Amino acid sequence: MIAAMREVRQQGLKAARHLDGEIYEVRADGKGVIYRILFAPQGKRKQVFLSLEALKKKKRKTPPEAIRLAKRRLRDWQQRGE
């Protein structure tokens, strides 16, 4: 997972897949399993990647409930910062 997020840091958001709103996804290949990390760029220059959810890839499509959870966590994070 660290290597996947490092790739996003180096290449920018083009290394990730946009899901919805501010939510992006990056895939991390493990030994015999694929993980997905849902994150949102934050900060003044959008250079901080806030990890919101991590899950094992089981299906081709990201589960909608995982996206909803990531959006709730992002909203909570942003409200605490106000």
| pLDDT tens-digit readout, 43-76 | 888 888 999 999 997 778 899 999 999 999 999 9
Quick check: 82 pLDDT over 80? Answer: no
Bigger pLDDT: 79 or 45? 79
Task: Compute and round to an integer the Cα radius of gyration of the chain.
Answer: 12
Cα separation, 21 vs 32, whole angstroms: 31
pLDDT value for 26: 95
Contact 17, 11 (CB under 8 A): no
Q: DSSP letters of 16-82?
A: SEEEETTEEEEEEE-SS-EEEEEEEEESTTS-EEEEEEEEE--SSSPPHHHHHHHHHHHHHHHHHT-
For the chain, domain boundaries = 2-80
| pLDDT tens-digit readout, 1-52 | 888 888 998 999 999 999 999 999 999 888 888 899 999 999 888 888 999 9
Give Cα separations from 38 to 33, 82 (angstroms). Answer: 17, 23
pLDDT value for 32: 86
